[in-house]
Amino acid sequence: MNTSDAERLATVLKQLGYQETNNEKEADLIGVIACSVRQAAVDRIYGKLREWQLVKVKRPLITLLSGCVLPQDRKKFKDKFDLFIDINHLDHIATDLKNLAPEEKLALSDFFSIDPSYQSDYRAYVPIMTGCNKFCTYCAVPYTRGREMSRPSGQIIDEVKNLLSQGYKEIILLGQNVNSYGLDRKEEIKFPELLKKIDGLGKNFWLKFLTSHPYDMSDELIATMSKAQNLSHYLHLPVQSGSDAVLKKMNRHYTVAHYKKLIKKIREAIADIAISTDIIVGFPTETEVQFKETLKLVKEVGYNTAYFAQYSPRVGTAATKMFKDDVPKTTKKKRWQELNKLIGQQSLNFNKKLIGKTALVLIDQNEKIDKNYLNLGKLANYTTVKINTSKPLKIGGFVKVKITKALNWGVEGAIIKK
């Protein structure tokens, strides 16, 4: 989502006459696309601000803040940045910038109708909705991005059509809870229908979507997924905890039994699907027994990857009002490490099962090492693949490989001659 926000913001700035640079030293305008999900990311902004304050003493520099920012942080940062841009209202940027730099031209567009300056020429993030209505008690998103707002399907389809005609190989549909796409617009198609339409727009591309909420994962969606031609066999389905008591306090609206049933249905529909998840450890009042339930669930599901976070209280969310952040930092860290060790083993097991299989790899980077090249790419299910070759492989191109070896963080593959 941050990448997608940045791509759209870059377009608006370009419309205003700005040029992109990777060199902070020559920038006239510099900004942060913030993430407020955890405190650590917010703290990093202060570090950057101090750096830029020193630059401002020497030369003119406009600093900008956008992305996911909590109202409280917005107040705190108000005097420290020259501009705050609500990401859902990029149309304000032109007027706000005009006050600072009156010679600028006006550009008016809303977030969704902006043609983004894609950072990659083969992988594109396409937002289909923004905001969230779920109000999980720990989460800042409903406060930073507001309520669910679906993008008109015609606009999404046009963007994807255009990307495919330019040769894009991977399309990632984005939303905090893509499964509730269209529910805020009576006349609009719903997510399974949207997925079906996008799947039908072309051949030989990878289609993915992020993120699904287990509560809204319908049978209709699972059936659509199993029939789709281009959909990667990969699903990110955050569970957050393996304890019903904790899930209830998190306001997740499902039980562990419901989640397990979902996983079963999904695997019955798509046998080789790779599933990943998000888990929070150390949610207020989480006991050792409840954490063990999470470990048990992770073992039972057999994820190929997972993202773990130590609970971090976000000002203004329900959890901070209802509970004390009472799990000690050391316990959170211990639980995090335990889960990390487990997922490392699961990941290796998953990777071992891939040995001997042939698969397409989308190449992301290569590097010359002695006389040969080390190429890194991804399988459709996001597994990293390492390929050694004598000539570099084309970045953004597909190659067919045979998986030869399992590693902790991915697999090794050898090119299959056509």
Q: Which residues here bind ligand SAH, judged by CB under 6 A?
A: 37-38, 138-139, 141, 176-177, 211, 213, 238, 240, 278, 280, 309, 311-312, 314
Q: Does residue 247 interact with ligand SF4 by CB under 6 A? A: no
| Nearest of 170, 167, 165, 220 to residue 196 by alpha carbon | 220
Supply the minimum distance, in Å, between the C-beta of residue 147 and ligand SF4. 11
142 interface partner picked from ligand SF4, ligand SAH, none, CB below 5 to 8 A per type? ligand SF4
Question: With binding defined as CB under 6 A, does residue 214 bind ligand SF4?
Answer: no
Of 348, 223, 239, 332, give the one whose Cα is nearest residue 285. Answer: 332
Please identify, using beta-carbon distances, which residue of 139 and 171 lies nearer to ligand SAH.
139
Q: Using an 8 Å Cβ cutoff, are 217 and 261 in contact? A: no
By the rule CB under 6 A, 383 interacts with ligand SF4? no
The amino acid at residue 223 is A
Taking Cα atoms as reference points, which of 165, 222, 170 lies closest to residue 195?
222
List % helix, strand, coil for the chain (3-state, nearest 5).
40, 20, 40
Residue from 134, 197, 253, 405 touching ligand SF4 (CB under 6 A): that is: 134
Among 176, 212, 224, 381, binds ligand SF4 (CB under 6 A): 176
Q: Which of 133/331 has CB closer to ligand SF4? A: 133
**By the rule CB under 6 A, 29 interacts with ligand SF4:** no
139 binds ligand SF4 (CB under 6 A): yes
- Picking from 40, 361, 14, 2, the residue whose alpha carbon sits closest to that of residue 206 is 361
Q: How far is the CB of 138 from ligand SAH (least distance, A)?
A: 4
The residue type found at 264 is K
Residue 131 CB, nearest approach to ligand SAH (Å): 10
CA distances from 369 to 235, 372, 389, 398 (A): 34, 5, 10, 22
Q: How far apart are CA 137 and CA 98, in angstroms?
A: 39
> Would you count residue 127 as binding ligand SF4 (CB under 6 A)?
no
Nearer to ligand SAH, 11 or 177 (CB): 177
**If contact means CB under 5 to 8 A according to the sort of partner, which of ligand SF4, ligand SAH, none does residue 135 touch?**
ligand SF4
Residue 123 binds which entry of ligand SAH, ligand SF4, none, CB below 5-8 Å type-dependent: none
Between 77 and 311, whose beta carbon lies closer to ligand SAH? 311
Binder among 67, 142, 182, 410 for ligand SF4 (CB under 6 A): 142
Which range, of 11-19, 138-146, 165-173, 358-366, touches ligand SF4 by CB under 6 A?
Answer: 138-146
Given a contact cutoff of 8 angstroms between Cβ atoms, the answer to whether 151 and 174 are in contact is no
Residue 41 burial (10 A CB sphere; 0-12, 13-18, 19+):
middle
228 part of the interface to ligand SF4, by CB under 6 A: no
Which one of ligand SF4, ligand SAH, none is in contact with 314 (Cβ closer than 5 to 8 A by kind)? ligand SAH
Q: List phi, psi (to 5°) of 206.
A: -100, 130
Dihedral angle sign, alpha carbons of residues 32, 38, 42, 47: negative
Q: Is 282 in the site for ligand SF4 (CB under 6 A)?
A: no
1 is in the binding site of which of ligand SAH, ligand SF4, none (Cβ under 5 to 8 A by kind)? none
CB 171 within 8 A of CB 148: no
> Least CB distance from residue 208 to ligand SF4, whole Å?
17
As measured in angstroms, the least distance from the Cβ of 379 to ligand SAH is 23
Please report, as residue ranges, which positions from 298 to 317 form the binding site for ligand SF4 (by CB under 6 A).
none
Beta-bridge mates of residue 400: 360
SS3 (DSSP) at 303: coil
Closer CB to ligand SF4, 178 or 195, in the complex: 178
Question: Minimum Å distance from CB 128 to ligand SF4?
Answer: 14
**Judging by beta carbons within 10 Å of its beta carbon (0-12, 13-18, 19+), is residue 195 exposed, middle or buried?**
buried
For the chain, give the number of residues.
418
Nearer to ligand SAH, 169 or 208 (CB): 208
Q: Residue 309: which of 277, 341, 285 has the closest Cα?
A: 277
Provide the binding-site residues for ligand SF4, judged by CB under 6 A.
132, 134-136, 139, 141-142, 176-177, 213
